[in-house]
């Protein structure tokens, strides 16, 4: 169980590293299943959410959590944001490769969380603002229309997913118990995913490999990963939480080369350089 003790930098760094690794795994598993035609987007999302809820339910039982702790979650918006993120994430990956999808996703996350931080009173230094500008410029360059630009529809779907995830992360900073909060969100998301999935008329097909990828995504990369991320958020500002997530696209792109035999374009390399340089500047104190 992840405790709610006063966070220390080393612990927050370790939790954050584990969380961004889980985020990268989600992109790889989703792209593997959907890009390979092993499962449909709605089916992948449904299995992912259900397996995540079951995994977290088992954790609650093993840790002897009381049901009251889960039902007392006050924020009912989190399951809605989780559902929107998961569905649009899956549909976007039917049109995007792993690295590009992750870059667009977390670019939208960054914008959402930094704007929220600014509205709540967080202010960036000149170096941090320069870093933010560089990171956003890299994202704009990646999706700008032209040769080898990603699918406009796929980019739009992933941007919506990123916005929903950004809101979910902001709400997660207020969660008093990461395990109970994440379990509650997954369980409430189950009927929402099924209802919304039925509203999107697409062919339904599921293979054993596609289902296995969705289960791994739901249990380890999502269920466990989101609990870790919610705990890490207790020690991060909105700006830090937003910017650190932009390490995910680079990790995802490298994993895409290794595991999915994807090609990396010069456009992606240039965009990644600007984004990672921006992250470095944004975390400088002086």
Q: Let me know if residue 93 belongs to a domain.
A: yes
Task: In whole angstroms, give the CA distance from residue 41 to residue 31.
Answer: 10
Is residue 283 exposed (0-12), middle (13-18) or buried (19+ Cβ within 10 Å)?
A: middle
Q: Let me know if residue 4 belongs to a domain.
A: no
Q: Let me know if residue 3 belongs to a domain.
A: no
> Other CB atoms closer than 10 Å to residue 16's CB: what's the count?
22
* pLDDT, tens digit (0-9, with 9 covering 90-100), for 189-231: 999 998 888 887 777 889 999 999 999 999 999 989 988 988 8
Q: What is the pLDDT of residue 286?
A: 45
Q: What is the mean pLDDT of residues 87-110?
A: 84
Q: Enter the pTM of the model.
A: 0.79
**Domains in the chain, number:** 1
Q: Let me know if residue 46 belongs to a domain.
A: yes
Task: In whole angstroms, give the CA distance from residue 108 to residue 283.
Answer: 19
* pLDDT, tens digit (0-9, with 9 covering 90-100), for 165-182: 889 988 887 777 788 888
Q: Which helix (H) or strand (E) holds 228?
A: helix 225-232
Q: Let me know if residue 39 belongs to a domain.
A: yes
Q: Let me know if residue 84 belongs to a domain.
A: yes
Is residue 2 exposed (0-12), middle (13-18) or buried (19+ Cβ within 10 Å)?
A: middle
Sign for the CA dihedral angle at 187, 224, 35, 275 comes to positive
Owning domain of residue 154: 9-282
């Amino acid at each position: 169980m992840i405790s709610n003790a006063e966070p220390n930098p080393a612990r927050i760094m370790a939790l954050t590293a584990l969380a961004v690794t889980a985020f990268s795994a989600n992109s790889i598993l989703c792209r593997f299943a959907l890009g390979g035609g092993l499962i449909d987007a709605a089916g992948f999302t449904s299995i992912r959410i259900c397996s995540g809820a079951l995994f977290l339910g088992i954790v609650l039982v093993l840790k002897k959590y009381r049901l009251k702790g889960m039902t007392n979650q006050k924020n009912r918006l989190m399951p809605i944001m989780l559902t929107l993120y998961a569905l649009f994430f899956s549909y976007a990956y039917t049109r995007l490769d792993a690295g590009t999808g992750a870059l667009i996703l977390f670019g939208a996350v960054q914008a959402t969380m930094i704007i929220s931080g600014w509205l709540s009173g967080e202010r960036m230094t000149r170096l941090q603002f320069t870093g933010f500008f560089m990171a956003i410029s890299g994202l704009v360059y990646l999706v700008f229309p032209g040769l080898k630009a990603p699918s406009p529809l796929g980019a739009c779907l992933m941007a919506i997913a990123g916005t929903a995830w950004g809101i979910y992360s902001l709400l997660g900073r207020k969660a008093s118990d990461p395990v109970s909060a994440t379990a509650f969100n997954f369980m409430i998301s189950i009927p929402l995913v099924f209802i919304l999935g039925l509203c999107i008329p697409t062919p339904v097909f599921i293979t054993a490999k596609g289902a296995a990828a969705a289960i791994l995504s739901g249990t380890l990369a999502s269920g466990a990963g989101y609990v870790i991320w919610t705990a890490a958020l207790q020690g991060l500002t909105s700006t830090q939480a937003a910017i650190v997530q932009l390490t995910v696209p680079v990790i995802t792109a490298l994993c895409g080369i290794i595991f999915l035999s994807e090609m990396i374009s010069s456009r992606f390399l240039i965009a990644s350089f600007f984004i990672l340089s921006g992250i470095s500047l944004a975390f400088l104190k002086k």
